[in-house]
């Protein structure tokens, strides 16, 4: 986008530098402790053509400069910046059957594909930096799972790729593969090769304004409110945490009814998923129905269309903001009543521009929780019970998937540093609701979280069946 800050000729051997923005900085602090490692995992039934994939990825790096950036850290000033080299440099790391087998856990109930996904979610390149302060934001690997299945993995630093960008990245990558990697040639560098401006620099004038006293009151409110929040039962708070995944899937028939129920009530699915999670969490504690608990819900909003100038999902980077709301619930809440309340509260916050005015507050508190884990319950660094996305990812490209030998795929990010107990990455695939649900282990156990998912599913299905 040529109207974002002019810069030198990209053919120069010197990389182009841009300081990170406030939200990007919070991810630079979060990823080293384990939250914000974004993974796109593809399960293939055809051997991956690595030269073709290499060309496709280089074309993506040419089209989207942030994918070829290096994250530069300066310990002396505690600052970060994106350094954009003039040419792509990513190399796919291949793992043959013996190498993959050394990573997999034998006799595990978790599929090899899921194990590799979780392995990559916890492969933290940014935790132990090299002697040089520069690290790539984009990695790729190919794993031979068996003689008939392969996993192709893209791993990214979340500051360079939010969920909307990840969905666009997958779509563009599949298109390039179908076209032979970009017709066998590498694309021209996109315009001047500079990374687009940070989110904070593109907020429309006046939208993020907040009086100093109001900022102080809100910061105090967020801090005090956190001590009153309820959490899922913690299973083990002493061992080092990793990210694991459980699934929530609903049939196309029930998904249609669920979306119809949302439409008739003027709400979005994010409110329904949050409500189902809250009801299931309260029920998991076997409390009396009349006993109230307060839970925090974080909703992530894609701000691209609200910026000046507006961006699209093809503008890669991190352009989501968060709105945190708390909800008091007991065992008598019903799904649709609570979903309406969750979504109405979100709309009220959004209409007050809290996704912009509270951005720096939440980023500051996120960094404080990283630096001082003891400020969170049991030093767990849990800042909320659940996080959801305002908008769904829709995917109806199954014919392309079959042609490419793509049997399954997942897109999600790690949460075992600072963050929620449950992060839901939802999409509609072939008409059915598909949710990748990421949680910190062993803070929570796989059995505990799968039980929570099963209860959420039963709540959703029962609610739509009652309307039939």
**Same domain membership, residue 174 and residue 59:** yes
**Same domain membership, residue 208 and residue 182:** no
**CA distances, 224 to each of 35, 310, 345, 371, 461 (Å):** 24, 36, 20, 18, 36
Q: Under DSSP, is residue 159 helix (H, G, I), strand (E, B) or coil?
A: helix
Q: How does pLDDT run across 296-328, given as a tens digit for each residue?
A: 999 999 999 999 999 999 999 999 999 999 999
- What pLDDT score does 209 carry? 83
Q: How does pLDDT run across 66-78, given as a tens digit for each residue?
A: 999 999 998 888 8
Q: Which residue has the higher pLDDT, 133 or 151?
A: 151
State which of 199, 223, 239 marks the end of a domain: 199
State which of 182, 199, 216 marks the end of a domain: 199
**Same domain membership, residue 338 and residue 211:** yes
**Same domain membership, residue 148 and residue 225:** no
Does the residue 4 lie in any domain? no
C-alpha count within 13 angstroms, C-beta hemisphere, residue 334 = 6
- As a whole number of angstroms, the distance between CA 123 and CA 128 comes to 11
The pair of structure tokens assigned to 47 is 């051997």
- Residues contacting residue 450 through CB under 8 Å, at least 6 positions apart: 246
Does the residue 3 lie in any domain? no
**Same domain membership, residue 42 and residue 105:** yes
Statement: residue 10 has pLDDT above 50: no
Q: How does pLDDT run across 79-111, given as a tens digit for each residue?
A: 999 999 999 989 999 999 999 999 999 888 999
- As a whole number of angstroms, the distance between CA 276 and CA 378 comes to 25
The pair of structure tokens assigned to 295 is 């839970």
**Same domain membership, residue 75 and residue 183:** yes
Does the residue 8 lie in any domain? no
Statement: residue 6 has pLDDT above 50: no
Does the residue 1 lie in any domain? no
**Same domain membership, residue 236 and residue 180:** no
- What pLDDT score does 38 carry? 98
Cβ atoms of residues 380 and 237 within 8 Å: yes
State which of 144, 174, 199 marks the end of a domain: 199
Domain that holds residue 141: 16-199
- As a whole number of angstroms, the distance between CA 67 and CA 64 comes to 6
**Same domain membership, residue 219 and residue 110:** no
Does the residue 6 lie in any domain? no
CATH number at residue 319: 3.30.559.30
The total of structural domains in the chain comes to 2
Statement: residue 157 has pLDDT above 80: yes
Q: Which residue has the higher pLDDT, 250 or 187?
A: 250
**Same domain membership, residue 247 and residue 284:** yes
Does the residue 11 lie in any domain? no
From the CB of residue 443, how many other CB atoms can be counted at a distance below 10 Å?
Answer: 24
**Same domain membership, residue 338 and residue 195:** no
User: String of b and e for 189-206 (b: at least 16 CB within 10 Å)?
Assistant: beebbbbbbbbbebbeee
Averaged pLDDT score across all residues of the chain: 90
User: Could you tell me the pLDDT band of residue 8, with boundaries at 50, 70 and 90?
Assistant: very low
Question: Which residue(s) pair with 436 in the sheet?
Answer: 247, 425
Find, among 193, 195, 170, the residue nearest to 56 by Cα: 170
Question: Which residue(s) pair with 139 in the sheet?
Answer: 155
Does the residue 241 lie in any domain? yes
**Same domain membership, residue 269 and residue 159:** no
Q: Under DSSP, is residue 140 helix (H, G, I), strand (E, B) or coil?
A: strand
**Same domain membership, residue 205 and residue 132:** no
The sign one gets for the Cα dihedral 302, 308, 313, 317 is negative
CATH number at residue 170: 3.30.559.10
344-227-291 Cα angle (round to 5)? 65
Does the residue 5 lie in any domain? no
- As a whole number of angstroms, the distance between CA 153 and CA 151 comes to 6
């Amino acid at each position: 986008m040529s109207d974002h800050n002019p810069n030198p000729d990209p053919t120069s051997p010197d990389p182009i530098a841009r300081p990170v923005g406030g939200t990007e900085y919070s991810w630079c602090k979060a990823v080293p402790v384990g939250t914000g490692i974004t993974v796109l995992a593809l399960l293939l039934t055809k051997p991956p053509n690595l030269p073709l994939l290499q060309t496709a990825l280089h074309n993506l790096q040419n089209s989207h400069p942030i994918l070829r950036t290096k994250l530069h850290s300066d310990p002396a000033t505690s600052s970060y910046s994106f350094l954009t080299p003039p040419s792509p440099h990513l190399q796919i790391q291949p793992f043959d059957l013996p190498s993959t087998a050394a990573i997999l856990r034998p006799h595990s109930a978790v599929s090899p594909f899921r194990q590799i996904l979780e392995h990559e979610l916890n492969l933290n390149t940014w935790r132990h930096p090299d002697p040089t302060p520069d690290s790539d934001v984009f990695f790729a690997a190919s794993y031979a799972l068996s003689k008939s299945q392969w996993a192709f993995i893209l791993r990214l630093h979340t500051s360079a790729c939010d969920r909307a960008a990840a969905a666009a990245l997958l779509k563009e990558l599949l298109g390039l593969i179908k076209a032979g990697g970009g017709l066998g040639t590498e694309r021209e560098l996109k315009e001047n090769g500079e990374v687009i401006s940070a989110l904070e620099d593109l907020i429309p004038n006046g939208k993020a304004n907040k009086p100093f006293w109001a900022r102080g009151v809100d910061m105090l409110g967020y801090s005090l409110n956190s001590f009153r929040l309820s959490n899922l039962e913690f299973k083990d708070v002493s061992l080092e945490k990793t990210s694991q995944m459980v699934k929530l899937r609903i049939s196309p028939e029930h998904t249609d009814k669920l979306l119809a129920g949302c439409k008739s009530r003027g709400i979005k699915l994010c409110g329904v998923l949050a409500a189902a999670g809250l009801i299931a969490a309260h029920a998991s504690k076997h409390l009396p129905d009349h006993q109230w608990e307060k839970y925090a819900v974080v909703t992530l909003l894609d701000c691209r269309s609200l910026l000046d100038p507006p961006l699209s999902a093809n503008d890669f980077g991190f352009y989501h903001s968060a709105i945190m709301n708390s909800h008091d619930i007991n065992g008598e809440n019903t799904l649709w009543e609570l979903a309406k309340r969750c979504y109405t509260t979100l709309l009220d916050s959004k209409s007050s521009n809290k996704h912009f005015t509270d951005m720096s507050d939440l980023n500051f508190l996120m960094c404080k929780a990283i630096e001082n884990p003891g400020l969170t319950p049991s030093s767990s660094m849990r800042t909320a019970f659940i996080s959801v996305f305002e908008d769904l990812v829709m995917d109806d490209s199954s014919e392309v998937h079959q042609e490419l030998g793509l049997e399954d795929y997942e897109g999600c990010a790690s949460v075992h540093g600072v963050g929620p107990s449950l992060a839901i990455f939802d999409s509609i695939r072939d008409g059915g609701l598909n949710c990748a649900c990421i949680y910190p282990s062993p803070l929570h156990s796989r059995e505990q979280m799968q039980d929570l998912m099963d209860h959420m599913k039963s709540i959703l299905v029962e609610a739509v069946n009652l309307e039939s």
